[in-house]
Chain A
Amino acid sequence: MTSRMNETAPDGAERTASPGCAKRIASNQRGSTAPAAMLALVIVVMTAITVYIFLKKIWWFPPSITDEGAQFDAQFLRTLVITGVIFVAAQLGLALALFRYRDRGQRVRYFEGNNTMEIIWTLATLVLFVGLGIYAEKAWASVHFVDASPSALPIEVTGQQFAWNFRYAGPDGVFGRTRPDLVSASTGNAVGVDPADPAGKDDIISPGEIVVPAGRQVDLILKSLDVTHSFFVRELRLKQDAVPGMTIHLHFTANTTGTYEVACAELCGLGHYKMRATMMVVSEADFEKWLQEQEAANQ
């Protein structure tokens, strides 16, 4: 605020422009049109290219294969539209402002603010952002606030440096006990199933490949043998850290058959980049067939 003092400083001296003050602001340009135009242009072009790439989906998600995935896609699109509008408006607004008000010798319109506008855009932003966040809650809740149904197919997922191993409970529907000291890759006991536990005798271990039936809910039970890993399947639109010392559940229902890649998404050491597995979504019939093959191999 401009001070409207009418008194002087004690010694009555006045300090206006001192000799050390530049007469004009130093700049290499004659006039401001060239840099203003260039900057505005760069911003506009950047905005246009970005919007184009998003609109044309030149690089995009793979198609989702679950209902929750569809909810993800819808929320993403919602967010993209809103942020896209804001992005375009802000970048173009910036380009417009810097070009329109480049120095052409005009008078400056002096204003220090506008409380009404501040209030309006603060409230609008608050409502928009928080509203978006609340709206997103539904999809999050369906994944995480609800447990897997009791009839879901449980599959244990064990991450280790640098592989994924999957375990099915077998015909008895019970997972056998595991002990860390029994883990032995060389003898094929990748997750350390305890031979003393009868429930574990029919467990099916599938190294590097997880097979799930389409249309049936699957309850993944995520574990880790050593460090934190993260189970990521793009088509499921799901990711969950596998933390040693914890058992974490993640459920989904796949609805499209196919073969999908599982990647590790938490830095776990030098082999992090090649810690992949395969997820096969098959029909119920094919799944039963696969299970029987595995059980036969177990005998």
Chain B
Amino acid sequence: MRSAAIDELELIETGNGGGAILPPLDGGGDDRRRWPSPEVSRRASFTGVQLALAAIVMFFMSLTSAYIVRKGLGTDWQATPIPRVLWLNTLILLASSATIELARRRSEGQSAEAREAQFSRWWTITIVLGVMFLVGQLFAWRQLAAAGMFLRTNPSSSFFYLLTAAHGAHLIGGIVALLYVGFRNWKRSRITQETAADLAALYWHFMDGLWLFLFALLTLGR
């Protein structure tokens, strides 16, 4: 004999996948899929982004360990001077994390239009700041090149270009995501724009944190 308590446990344990909500009998006039339910879609999207971040962590951890190993070998490691603009870039990226949070927070008591406007405004500012960061990284590269340090100059400079390029590439992906969130028609999607914004923000903050880590590695681990 099973008790109700055990059934509850079961429900918590099980994903309770798509079964919670019945699809409309008429199938709906549009072709939006009703499975899985919106809550599950939202949760699954978060799982997906978190897993992607785990894979990205492994990628950057490999580069980091290569950095540490390569530095410990041999005698040809020469500390790469850190272009000053990197400090500014870091501030810009930190600011963009703040603005993305401002975008996400929709204050109570505002009208729907006001909230939309607030979101749009701060979301756009975040994108602009992201682009500014990338431009700043290019400046840093030019400064290094002007000082005669290129990709192949010595292992330290190799890693400098490699790590900043890898981070920059992932950040471009983030900017594309931000643009997508800002400009796509979300009415015909399984998830809401709010959810999409939350997902993009998670990724964005991670990129910010990753930059802080890489920056520390490049400056302190020189």
Contact = CB atoms under 8 A, between A and B. Distances in A.
Interface of A: 3-7, 245
Chain B interface, DSSP helix/strand/loop, else mixed = loop
Nearest to A6: B1
B123 to A, nearest CB: 45
Chain A interface, DSSP helix/strand/loop, else mixed = loop
A92 B198 CA distance: 59
Interface of B: 1-2, 74
Nearest to B6: A5
B204 to A, nearest CB: 42
Contacts of B74: 245
Contacts of A4: 1-2
B4 to A, nearest CB: 10
A5 B1 CA distance: 6
The 8 residue pairs across chains A and B that have the minimum distance between CB atoms: A5-B2, A6-B1, A4-B2, A4-B1, A6-B2, A3-B2, A245-B74, A7-B2
A245 B1 CA distance: 71
8 contacts: A3-B2, A4-B1, A4-B2, A5-B2, A6-B1, A6-B2, A7-B2, A245-B74
B10 to A, nearest CB: 10
Nearest to B73: A245
Given A3-B2, A7-B2, A245-B74, 5 more contacts: A4-B1, A4-B2, A5-B2, A6-B1, A6-B2
A22 to B, nearest CB: 28
Contacts of B2: 3-7
Nearest to A3: B2
Contacts of A6: 1-2
A4 B1 CA distance: 6
B70 to A, nearest CB: 12
B68 to A, nearest CB: 18
A4 B2 CA distance: 7
